[in-house]
Structure 1
Amino acid sequence: MTDTLTARPAIGQWRDYAELAGLQDRRLPYALVAAARSPFYRARLRAGVPEDRAGLLDVPLTTKRDLRDSYPFGLLAVPRARLATYHESSGTSGVPTASYYTADDWHDLAERYARKWVGITADDVFLVRTPYALMITGHLAHAAARRHGATVVPGDNRSLAMPYARVVRVLHDLGVTLTWSLPTETLLWAAAAKAAGYRADRDFPALRALFVGGEPLGTARKARIAELWGVPVVEEYGSTETGSLAGECPHGRLHLWADRALFEVYHPDTGLTSPDGRGQLVVTPLFREAMPLLRYNLEDDVDVSYDACDCGWQLPTVRVLGRSAVGYPVGHGTVTQAAVEELVFALPARYEVTFWRAQAGPDRLRVEIEVPDQHRAAACAQLCGSILSALDVDAQVCGLPPGRLVPHQVLTAQPDVLKPRGLFGADENWDSALLYYR
């Protein structure tokens, strides 16, 4: 569809939200017609294809269950020969969620991912440290980096061939300038760098930014990661089913790509949607070819706002709370992962608290943190007090020696990764026959 390439807008082509809505309304009919070509939406839209935004709101939400029930190609809207890639989400329910893209879809995917205020250039060495398997994350960053001429280092985080010690070596020896990973990965790299005798904010001078996504990132943890590495932390939000949905502007706010998709906020308590507020994010991509989606509920908890931002992008902002926004009852209060994480990383950096875990009991929250001996009493007392003050929850905070939650061996080991063998000599150990590691 050549018109999709020429019609895709770029940031700056609209002056305000009214013009942005006009761009959406002009593109929406094409997205509705495209969706009706798939078996799933052909059945759902049997009474007729909506023509505009008002008609779209009469279409039921598309759920993750709908995608699972349509596995593998029930949402395919183009001939199979036009597909460029096939993907699946992690499938924690036991049933995979399939998604697929054409070459033109990939043009849009890569362009949206590269919309970062820290640009990607041909001078960059880009370490991609997310899965390269059926999920889209690694392939997406790889495609965007190559489109802009960067050298890609494919450091898949699900591969035995890329332990943390090797990540640190690659970061240092190759002069990596940009990375893409979960936020938690960057903390593990810092710990592995320390174990190797490096200091993250001093011994990796080529590094200029850390791109992160895939899990909620609070203000305090983001600031701690930036302090550890001495570079900006640039957030990204999306999914395997949709690709990039939001990116960070120079003022540190996450903006929804509302020129490429319509967004709604679903309120499960009422069953209604609104343009903004707090609830679950619902997305209708405007330029999707292979697998158009209408009102797809990602089930991610978000807070969407149309407040003005100094960046001038004229795009709605979003705070991604994730499903961790669902809390656990403790005593008379409720505890969420995001709330505890914010308090942990609000501890002074000199306490060197990076790794933690917590367990919600009926009357008390049990928290364990890794902390050096000299800071243990102060860190535990301060965290216990802040949990009570902020969450109105009694807490038992236990300080553990470094290495108890993340073993030192995990940070330093370099396991052998072998090609499979069938034939061994008389003095060789053949217990690892056909395996890729030992």
Structure 2
Amino acid sequence: MSWSRPEVGDWSSPAELAELQRAQLPRVLAQALRSPFYAARYDGRTRPGGAEDFDGIELTTKQDLRDQYPFGLLAVDREKLATYHESSGTAGEPTASYYTDDDWTDLAERYARKWVGINPSDTFLVRTPYGLVITAHLAQAAGRLRGATIVPGDARSLATPLPRMVRVMRALDVSLTWCNPTEIMMLAAAAKAVGLRPDKDFPALRAMFTAAEPLTEARRRRLSEIWGGIPVVEEYGSTETGTIAGQCPAGALHLWADRAIFEVWSPQTGELSASGRGQLVVTPLYREAMPLLRYNLADEVEVSTADCSCGWLLPTVRVLGRSGTGYAVGDSTVTQQRLEELVFGLPASYEVMFWRAMAHPDVLRVEFEAPDEVRGQAVKELAEAIDRELGVPHRITGLPPHTLVPHEALTAQRDILKARYLFGEGEDWDKAVMYQ
């Protein structure tokens, strides 16, 4: 199956965009009913066939995907599949996802919608896992679609420790990276650990792409400052859906509403709406192997249809995290996003990069690393900010550098062995057959 997919700018009004979505719905519904799960769900009931039937479609949940593991949502013959993936399982048992070659064209096109562009002249370091999750494969497919040179710097491989990645970034003139926000910090710390300045010693680097963690504007600004002011370009997605939103030049995340229908579900009322705060629900419009109808990602979001200064006629989304991620402290609720804004609201000169917190019912404990000469002042200013913005009891501790992230983690070159059976005298033959 080959579907003609739109690009940003192929419509001139929200009404045209809505009509584009509705035109695809009969094909989406027909394809979904080829899977065992949706065929069984509508067995003996009126089977949805047209756009007018979409309002009656019920939610598909993560538990539905878990219950149908692995191929209950397969809507094509197995031989048509190009890849198989599983989610990371951070919120429960993993879910399965699978894609055809045509699905992959759609996935790569959506990822490649970066406002800074991916070009044939780019050397693109992919620093996310090349495992069952989709993230690294997605970036590689998009980079190849646009002609870039891919450097597969798998973030979970012992063969690609941080010092090696710092060396590769310098030696290969890496111009783009793809990693989560924490890894951007880790790469900066690893560069500093070997005497390099992230803001000066990587002149080819022109942008860093990031996702996988909710990212506040304060943290994004700090990441950009650390790396010399280059853009830190965020996107949002999942293994089940691929990229579903990308950042515009104005800094907003726009939902790719020409490639999927997005709705906001209220757990309190059970209602679905086009905007507002609640859990994000997505119906991909160009999915062949594993169609999803009103799939609830269970991510807490705020969606707006207000105009954006960038001129893109697409809704914007603020990703607040998985539902239920706030913690009660005293009479208030503390979220990671709000606390992150305060931590990275400290002056950049304090060099605060790594922190952690624990919410107890009666006190919020916060620890962070900072150099000796500014640590006391940083503690004082963060305490004042928490008093002012959160109003919760707190205990804040400033720690010396390399307390939370050991120096060895930033500088160690791993001893990677292939299987070996014959050793010379004096060698450590206890490593025979072991992979370390």
TM-score, normalised to structure 2's length?
A: 0.98
Alignment of 1:109 onto 2:107: yes
Give the corresponding residue for 1:300: 299
SS at match of 2:56: coil
1:427 deviates by 3.1
CA-to-partner distance for each residue in 1:371-393, whole Å, 9 max, x for gaps?
11111111001101111110111
Alignment of 1:21 onto 2:18: yes
- Letter of the 1:141 counterpart: A
**Any unmatched runs of 5+ in structure 2?**
none
Give the corresponding residue for 2:124: 126
Give the corresponding residue for 1:239: 238
Task: Give yes or no for contact 1:109–1:244 (8 Å, CA) kept in 2.
Answer: yes
Give the corresponding residue for 1:73: 71
CA-to-partner distance for each residue in 1:312-357, whole Å, 9 max, x for gaps?
2200000111127621111111111111111000000111111100
**Any unmatched runs of 5+ in structure 1?**
none
Give the corresponding residue for 1:141: 139
Distance in 2 (CA, whole Å) between partners of 1:267 and 1:284 is 17
Give the corresponding residue for 1:399: 398
Distance in 1 (CA, whole Å) between partners of 2:323 and 2:169 is 31
1:429 deviates by 1.6
Give the corresponding residue for 2:252: 253
Distance in 2 (CA, whole Å) between partners of 1:211 and 1:323 is 21
CA-to-partner distance for each residue in 1:20-79, whole Å, 9 max, x for gaps?
000000011100100000000001122133234442232221011100110111000001
Alignment of 1:267 onto 2:266: yes
Task: Give yes or no for contact 1:33–1:49 (8 Å, CA) kept in 2.
Answer: no
C-alpha RMSD over aligned residues: 1.2
Distance in 2 (CA, whole Å) between partners of 1:325 and 1:129 is 29
More deviation, 386-395/119-128: 386-395
Distance in 2 (CA, whole Å) between partners of 1:339 and 1:164 is 29
Which residues in structure 2 correspond to 1:153-232 (within 5 Å)?
153-230=151-228, 231-232=230-231
Task: Give yes or no for contact 2:246–2:254 (8 Å, CA) kept in 1.
Answer: yes
Distance in 1 (CA, whole Å) between partners of 2:256 and 2:120 is 25
1:251 deviates by 1.1
More deviation, 331-340/419-428: 419-428
- Letter of the 2:155 counterpart: N
Task: Give yes or no for contact 2:23–2:51 (8 Å, CA) kept in 1.
Answer: no
Give the corresponding residue for 1:319: 318
1:430 deviates by 2.2
- Letter of the 2:12 counterpart: R
Task: Give yes or no for contact 1:324–1:336 (8 Å, CA) kept in 2.
Answer: no
- Letter of the 1:62 counterpart: T
SS at match of 2:429: coil
SS at match of 2:11: coil
- Of all paired residues, the percent bearing the same amino acid is 63
Distance in 1 (CA, whole Å) between partners of 2:178 and 2:65 is 27
SS at match of 2:435: coil
Distance in 1 (CA, whole Å) between partners of 2:426 and 2:94 is 45
- Letter of the 1:23 counterpart: L
- Letter of the 1:17 counterpart: P
Task: Give yes or no for contact 1:194–1:200 (8 Å, CA) kept in 2.
Answer: yes
Task: Give yes or no for contact 2:279–2:323 (8 Å, CA) kept in 1.
Answer: no
- Letter of the 2:21 counterpart: Q
